Each structure stands twice: as C-alpha cells, then as structure tokens.
Structure 1
Amino acid sequence: MAAPGSVVPNRRFTAQVYVLPARGGGRAALVPTGYRPQFCIRTADVVGDIGLGEAAVARPGDTVTMSVEPGRETPLEPGPGSAVREGGRAAGAGTVTAARRVPTPKFRGRGPGPGPVLGARRAPAPARGGRPAVRRHNGTMNEPIPVTRPVGHGTAKLMPDVDRERAWLLTVDGAPQSYVDLDEPAHLEFEYTRRLGHVLDTLAEPGHPLDALHLGGGALTLPRYLAATRPGSRQDVVEFDGELLDLVAGQLPLPEGADITLHAADARAWLESAPDASADVLVADVFGGSRVPAHLTSVAYAREAARVLRADGVYLGNLADAAPFAFLRSQLATLGTVFEELVLIAEPGVLRGRRFGNTVLAAAHRPLDLVALARRTAADAFPARVEHGAALRDFTGGARPVRDEDAVPSPEPPDGAFGIG
C-alpha cells in the first residue's frame, strides 16, 4: 500500500549483490555482463539485464555492484532486499541501492524538411556567472527556476537539476532533448551521449583539437564537451530552429573562448554548401519532432557527409529504432556504400528487440579503436555492446541502401518512449 505518486515505476536500478557460490546452492560459472536472472523484490518478479562495469564479470562468492535493466517498469526505491534466481534456484541476494526511471532521449536538431539558410552567427560567450532566471529569497537571487518559451517547433523548457548547481535539462513539448552542466561540461548525463563522447575520445590523442561539424544543436551538449576535452577545437553547429538556438545561447552561455559557431539552417542544405575535406568528425543528431528527417537518410546525403569529412574523418549518427530494425539496417546499408568501416553501439536490450531505443552508428574510411570503445562502453553504468565486422554484416542482412526518391523518416517512437519519469 502506498500513497498515489509516492512510488515511481523504474526501468533501471543499481544493487549490491552477493553471488551465491555452488557450495551454497548457487552458480559454479562466472556471472558476465549481459546475464539475465530473475530479480524478486518484494512482490515483483522480473527478469533483468545486468551490467558489471569495467570488471565485466563476477565470480561466485563475490559481492558486487551491478546495474540492472528490468524487462518492464517496476516500482522501486532504495532499500529493499532482492533475491536473484536462475532457473528456479537461488543465484544471489542483495539490496537495491539506487533506482531511477531514465528516459530514452531523442536528442535533436529540428528540421523535417529543407529550409532557408539564415546565416551564421557567433553565439555570445558571457562571463561564467551567466544563468537562467533565479528565484529571489530574502533579497538574494540564488535558486534557479524553469524557463519556458515557444520556439520554432514547439515549446522549449529549461529545467534546473536540483542535484547539480548549474545543470539544466532541455525539453521540447515535454520530451527530453539535452542535458548540460555549465560548471562541468565534460559531464554527459544521458547514456547515448556518453557513447558518442567515448567515440570522440578515441579519435585522436587526448587533448588534440578537432574540427567538428554538428548537425543538430539542442542545448549544445557535445560541442561543450569537445571544447572542454579538446581545447582549441573549431566547431560548427547547424540547427534548423533558430529560436531554440537563441534560447540556448542566451540562457546557457557557451564557455568563454570556445570556438563554436552556430548556424540556423537546414542540415542537408548547409552540408551541401560546406567545403570539401573540412571536418575531422561529423556528428548527426537531427530529429524533426521525434523522427530523423527523410532527406538525411539517403545515399546522396551520406556522400555529402563523406565529401565534407577529411580522409581519416569519422561520421557519427544517433539513430532510434526497434525490432525488426528496418530503418537501422537500411542506414547501415546506406552508409556502407560510402564508408569501408562501420561500428554500431547500443544497449543489449535494444539490440535484442526488447524496446525502442537509441543507437550510435560510426562510419569511417579507417579502422576505429574497437578495443578502447568496448572497454569504455562496458565500464558505463549501463553497458553497451560494440558491433562490427561479420556480426554487423549479418545484422544488416539484405537491407538495401536508401535513394532520395525512396527515403522515409525514421519510425515514430511508441507512446512513452520519450518522456520524463
């Protein structure tokens, strides 16, 4: 029995678990990341994917911290005990230490169709103290308050994070778009942005500046990250919604000295006018509403992206899909006509077809550092798999490359796929 609203269904939790050894009736084999036992928590009985961070495996008899993605939303809160079972026998026991409902964000750069290039402009870089409006207490301005404003494609809202003093969540029409911490721009809150960050970290020696092109702006999370981790990087950001750019640049100022230029323009139109071999990395994170626009899914678009990248440049895309993955497979086939190397990064639960979710697709003319990527993604709180080579070719199957005349947007996400828990 609980008061309405006092318990929130969660899709992820962390637990401290003792892995029962064989002599106690448990397992004799190692427990790996991706293991899927049953978790019995109070009256809930649910199967969950586990993640073990950098350790990747646990031995029987170990007490470990594991992240768990249950197969369905489960009312949880820190504190209750959990029995871990496998095939009707006990496999371990532990305690839930943290629980949260994490949205699958659709990071974005609006622009469902071609639009005019409104020109480039340098975003202002006010002093470090800049912040959105704050509430006054006893004459002192010290408590940030949400900022709501209509923009070109909906209603944008900036909401402060109560746990981080100058961190903000950007939503558009209620769906989470970006999260930024002005004091710690290298902090990437959403899992899929961390995976993009992992790829960016492996492209060159640490701290070496890159020339980057971002298609899709949001709250400029990755441009801020690159400016912090690779000072001196030259970056262009193309965002269709100029009013959203104005809101973000005005309320969430860019770091002083960051070489980041904002362009209010359609992504493909701007790309087609960009110089040859002008970027080390191209990050495509473009959504019209909740879908990748059709004109950013074709072979002609992929060829333009390859033209703008240097010979050793890397293309990164954020794509959302679910089983049977017709859209994702078509994008692998499309980029495979232009780039020799393809890598797909996604959570096991998404790749198994259990839910709609984000994937990161990397494409290049050169091999990527797969060992470093696998190590970094496995060490995340919610680990991802790195697929490449023959396994990725098998996943792509007989999918055909997309022509402009046949292009369609990415699939509409199911209700509740993008939201704030």
Structure 2
Amino acid sequence: MTGTSSSPVAEDTPHHRHLGPRAAAALVFGSSAAVLVVEIVALRLLAPYLGLTLETSTMVIGIALTAIAFGSWLGGRIADQIDPRRLIGPALGVSGAVVALTPAALRSTAEWSPALLMLIASMTILVPGALLSAVTPFVTKLRLTSLAETGTVVGRLSGVGTVGAIVGTVLTGFVLVARLPVSGILIGLGVLLVAGAALVEWRTRGWTGTPALALVTVAGGLAVTVAPGACDTETRYHCARVVADPDRPGGRTLLLDGLRHSYVDLDDPTYLKFPYVRAIASAVDATFAEGEPLAAYHLGGGGLTFPRYLHATRPGTESLVSEIDGGIVRINRDRLGLRTGDGIDVRTEDGRLGLRRLDTDSRDLVVGDAFGGISVPWHLTTVEAMADVRRVLDEDGLYVVNLIDHGTQDFARAEVATLGETFAHVAVVGEPADIGLDPAAAAEGGNLVVLASDRPVDVPATQEALDARRTGWRIATGDALTSWIGDARPLTDDYAPVDQLLQPFGPGDGA
C-alpha cells in the first residue's frame, strides 16, 4: 500500500546529511554578505575614475541587482538539472578568484584602456554577484526533502540571506572601509571565498579543483602589488599619494585619486603654485587689511595650503578646518609637516555638520574648497548651506569658494545663482573665456573662484592683486556676471542635480 502523507522532492541520500541546517545557513549568509561587500567596495574602487556621483552609484547598484536577479534565476534552473553538490564549491571558488583580481583588473584597465573600464567594471560585479547569488537556490535544493517543508526552508534561507546582506553592508561601511584599503578588502574576501570553496569541496567531493582556485587567488593578490594606480595610502575616501617636486626641495604635491589636489611648500608656506589658490589669496588680501589676523573656517582641508598661508602672512589667524577624510589629516601630520601651534585646528567631520556647529557671526572668512575634480558634495552647494555660511560670517565677512566645471559651466552658473540668493554681492574670478569676458575664445573650463559678501567686493583691488600674482584671471561682476549666469536655477536641498550639471572633468588641477 502506497503512503500519501507527502510527495518526495529529493532523495534522502548521504549528501543531504553533509549539508545540515547550520552549514546551509552559513553558505547563504556568507554568499549574500559577500555580494554586498563587492558592491560597496566596487563603488569606492571606481570613484577615482568615474567620480562618486549619482550616476556611478546608480550604475553599480543596478549591475549588482542584475547580478542577484540573474544568478538567482539561473541558479534555480541549473539546480534542477545538475546535482547542486557539484556547483556550490566552483561557484564560491570562481567568484573568489574574480573578486581577488578585481583591484588589479580595474586599475590596469583605467590606466591602459579607459574605454573598456565600464565593461570590465560590469563584469567584475556581474560574475561574482551572479555566482554568489546562485548559491542560495543550490542550497535550497539540497535542503528540500518534501513539499510539506517548502515554505519553511525557502522562507528561512531567504531570511538568512537578507540578514547576511545587511551584515555585509554594515560591516563594510562602518568597519572594513575604515580600517582596510579597498584592495585589501577584496583580496581578503576572495581568499575567504576560495577557502569556503575548498571546505565545501572537501566535505562533498574531496579537494578536486581547489589547488587551482587557490593559485588564481594568490595571483590576484600578487597582481595588485604591481598594478598601476598604486597609492601611498588608501584612505576611507581616496587613493592618496604625496609626490616631491624636483624643482623645489620643500615642494610636495598631494594627489587624490590621481589628480593634483594640493601643493605645499614645506619651507615656504607663502608659495602658492596653483592659480586658483593664488586667486583665493588675492581676494582675501584685497578684502582685509595687510597682516590682519582672521577667524577663518575652511570647508575641506586637502593639503591645508591656504590655512598655512594665512598662518604665515597673518600671524594670530585661527583656522578651523572640517575635513571629512581622517586619512588626509594623518598625511598632513606625517608627511606634509603640519604641527600643533600653527593656528590650524583640523576636525574630521562632514563640512555641512561642522558648519552647523559654528556660532553665529563668529568668522571673518569662510573658504570653500571641498570640491573634487570628478565629484562634488552637493549638500555644500545649496541655498540652505549658503544660508548657514552667511550665518557664521560677521557683517563684513567674506565667503570665497573654489568651483570646478567644464563645457557650458552649468554647475558653476547654478552655484553662482545660488550664492546670489543669499549674499548681497557676488563676483566670479577665472579665465576670461570661462566667465564670459572673452566671447571670442572658447571656454575650456577648470577652476573658478567665487566671492560672496554682504559688503561690496573691491573689484579694482582684487584685480590688482590677481595681476600681481600673475594669474591671468579676471573678475566679473554686475551686468557681465548676470549675463553669464543666464537662466541658471539656484540649487536647494530639495533640488540639487549637481552630478547632472557638472561636466566631465578633464586634465588639470583638482580641488
């Protein structure tokens, strides 16, 4: 007589006993966490080349979700046709090898064949993401023994996978990125995945294939050591290098993500190499009496070039700096000669939050220099942020900000329009063609410096200072500036499409 209590789904063979509930949960948890680690770290790895923009984030998230969907679907289909015991180990091993090779692959491609970067980046997310996502249906197939427990098994493993994804996200964002270089995170994850593959292979089929996978992982780690784009230091936000200037014994250039970000002369802090820094100095020196000490606040630190300049030329100046990247602060102390007693107080914090903590009417000068070459912190560009800048300035205070834009200058014009909503007087300093003062010449873009204050800008004195420093820049105000701004729409916390307005960054100086 045939029993009818349940219909068999998978034969209760010994291999099912090899994959108990704890092992199944560990595999699903670990593979789901790994997908999110790869997604977050890949975004950081691509930021130096594509920018930390909304588009870059959307692309990486979209690719990762595609990988999860494709891997789950294909893994389920394959699991119905092939014994899943033969699939889990290779899925973990191959994904581990690809993950370990990712830093070398992306950095080499960015250096030698930038046109292929998007394709290679997509594959380094798609391949491990799909393979790791396929682990869940493989494990589910092995754990199902009857239709009566389908809901329990699927629901439990789905929940475990979700928890794994959450843990992977939190662990990466709050722990791993803060303590390890991105290449180290990916190589370490690759090694763990290959080790997991070896363990699964040993439990189910012996060590077949494991040595080869291990060799690939080691090769990936070794490749990173010779791949281009290596950093002196990988901070939480940047690939950082300090390069000595062969023409000046004390000259040091701070490169962030391959772009010149700051230049510091350790022997002469009054030496300002980049034109935009000379323009900022010209504006400040034309606004305030020579040698007058100032209470200054700096949004963004970098190499602290301008705070050093103020300390040297205006003894008694107190500069408070908000620099979000603690790694850059350490570089300033360890390699760029920052000393206590220089009148420079650097706080590792977000600039918008640091600005909010300042007292009203507490600053003579606010300097905005947090704008990177390929990405912009949009929350520092809005009317609401500028209202906070205006709040902390005294009645004669000056806000001077470095902007970067190219092409039609859509972002720069929108930001100047935003400043016009907050301050009574606004002026723009830059190459004549870039600010509409030389219509016959094509705008090339790059750095612009904007001055904003509730007291009139001393245009003749500022232009004289610019000329004295041989910047070649001019200052635009009044009708000329209004014409240049055109119909640009001010930015607000509710509407700030900075990434869309900002034109692709070309070669030259960073922020």
Among residues 215, 234, 247, which one is paired with 2:318 in the alignment?
Answer: 234
Distance 1:254 1:174 in 2: 23
Residues 1:417 and 2:507 are matched in the alignment: yes
Alignment partner for residue 256 of structure 2, among 172, 176, 187?
Answer: 172
Q: Distance in 1 between matches of 2:423 and 2:250?
A: 40
Mapped pair 1:401 → 2:490: yes
TM-superposed CA distance for 1:245, in Å, is: 0.8
Distance 1:283 1:296 in 2: 12
Residue deviations 1:63-110 (CA, integer Å, cap 9, x gap): xxxxxxxxxxxxxxxxxxxxxxxxxxxxxxxxxxxxxxxxxxxxxxxx
Matched, 1:257 2:341: yes
User: Structure 1 pair 310/353, CA: closer, same or farther in 2 (3 Å)?
Assistant: farther
- Give the 3 Å change call, closer, same or farther, for CA 244–357 of structure 1 in structure 2: same
Q: Is the 8 A contact 2:371 2:403 kept in 1?
A: no
Cross-structure match for 1:383: 472
Aligned 1:11-26 pairs, distance under 5 A: none
The 1:300–1:256 alpha-carbon spacing in structure 2 relative to 1, beyond 3 Å, is closer
SS at match of 1:337: helix
2:363 partner amino acid: A
Q: Please, which runs of 5 or more residues in structure 2 have no aligned partner?
A: 1-172, 175-229, 436-440
Pairing partner for 2:463 from 347, 357, 374: 374
The structure in which a higher percent of residues are helix is: 2
Deviation at 1:254, TM superposition (A): 2.5
- Classify the secondary structure of the residue corresponding to 1:348: coil
Contact 2:371 2:404 in 1 (8 A): no
SS in 1 for 2:371: coil
Matched, 1:268 2:352: yes
Secondary structure at 2:481 match in 1? helix
Task: Note if contact 1:160-1:167 (Cα within 8 Å) is conserved in structure 2.
Answer: yes
Percent identity of paired positions between Structure 1 and Structure 2: 37
Q: TM-score, normalised by structure 2?
A: 0.52
Q: Could you tell me which runs of 5 or more consecutive residues in structure 1 were left unpaired when the two chains were aligned.
A: 1-114, 117-145
| DSSP-derived class of the 1:262 partner | strand
1:248–1:346 CA distance, 2 compared to 1 (3 A): same
Verify the 8 A CA contact 2:333 2:339 in the aligned structure 1.
Answer: no
Deviations 1:182-217 (A, max 9, x none): 111000000111000101112221111000000010
Aligned to 1:306: 390
The verdict on how the C-alpha distance between 1:407 and 1:370 changes in structure 2, with shifts beyond 3 A counting, is: same
Task: Identify the residue that residue 392 of structure 1 maps to in structure 2.
Answer: 481
In the other structure, the counterpart of 2:365 is: 281
Aligned match of 2:422: 338
Map of 1:156 onto structure 2? 240
Look up the SS of the partner of 2:279 in the other structure: helix
Distance 2:420 2:277 in 1: 23
Distance in 1 (alpha carbons) for counterparts of 2:471 and 2:285: 19
**Aligned partners of 1:400 and 1:418: how far apart in 2?**
28
2:431 is aligned with 1:347? yes
Alpha-carbon distance in 2 for matches of 1:202, 1:382? 15
With 392-401 and 169-178 compared, the bigger mean Cα shift is at 392-401
Find the aligned partners of 1:194 and 1:416 in 2 and give their Cα distance. 21
2:454 aligned partner: 365
Letter in 2 for 1:156: A
CA deviation string 1:388-412 (max 9, x = no partner)? 1121112112222212111123555
SS at match of 2:308: helix
| Number of aligned residue pairs | 277
**284, 287, 291: which one aligns with 1:207:** 291
Q: Sort the Cα spacing of 1:356 and 1:417 in 2 relative to 1 into closer, same or farther, 3 A.
A: farther
**1:361 partner amino acid:** V
Q: 1:376 to 1:288 in 2, by over 3 A?
A: closer
Whose strand proportion is higher, 1 or 2? Answer: 1
Three-state SS of the structure 1 residue aligned to 2:434 is helix
**Match in the other structure for 1:356:** 445
Please list every run of at least 4 consecutive aligned residues from structure 1 whose deviation after the TM superposition is greater than 4 angstroms: 410-413
Return the letter of the residue paired with 1:370.
Answer: V
C-alpha displacement at 1:419, in angstroms?
6.5
For 2:293 and 2:484, locate their aligned partners in 1 and report how far apart those are by CA, in whole Å.
Answer: 34
Using CA pairs below 8 Å that are at least 6 residues apart, which structure has the higher relative contact order?
Answer: 1
